[in-house]
Amino acid sequence: MEQPEAIDKLRNFSPTGDEAADVAVLHGLIEPLRYRQPAIEVRQQLIGIFERFPAASFGSPGPIVHALEASPIDEHVDLLVESLRRRATVMTVWMAERCFRSNLSDHNRQALLNVLREAAETPLNEEIATLIDNALTEYGAS
């Protein structure tokens, strides 16, 4: 599958509510890209799925996170920061925590802390507020 086709399929993906089926579909969409580093547009669509469907379950960590983490972590932090700024979700806050536990540059660590502070001002719900608060406490934000 060529990347433009993959991008369209990811953009049009809609979960069914059956986690196993949804994970299988995502694997099928992402697998053809496995031996290539996903282009920025593909990574944007992958993170966008978390924004569009904040309550859906896509595995833990699941094919989206695995695909994103196939690229060096610092390469998708900017996309994650943009996503957290638009709409923090359980999965994007969780991904930020995975970034904190990795070999993250100081610049990107600070960018994630700053955007989590911003997201804490207007969380989507109480669960996300708690996750953000815990992440900020755990990873050294004052």
Q: Which alpha helices (DSSP H) does 1-142 contain, by range?
A: 3-12, 19-30, 40-52, 62-68, 73-86, 90-100, 106-121, 126-138
Write down the mean pLDDT value for the chain.
89
The string of pLDDT tens digits covering residues 85-130 is: 999 999 999 999 999 998 889 999 999 999 999 999 987 899 999 9
Rounded Cα distance, 99 and 53, in Å: 21
Question: Tell me, what's the pLDDT at 60?
Answer: 84
Q: Structure tokens of 70?
A: 């196939």
Tell me the mean pLDDT in the region 13-17: 95
Q: Which of 90, 80, 75, 74 is nearest to 114 (CA)?
A: 80
pTM surpassing 0.85? Answer: yes
Q: Tell me the per-residue pLDDT of 30-49, one tens digit each, with 9 for 90 and over.
A: 888 766 666 788 889 999 99
- Which percentage of the chain shows pLDDT scores above 70? 93
Predicted confidence at residue 5, as pLDDT, reads 81
Helix/strand/coil for 7: helix
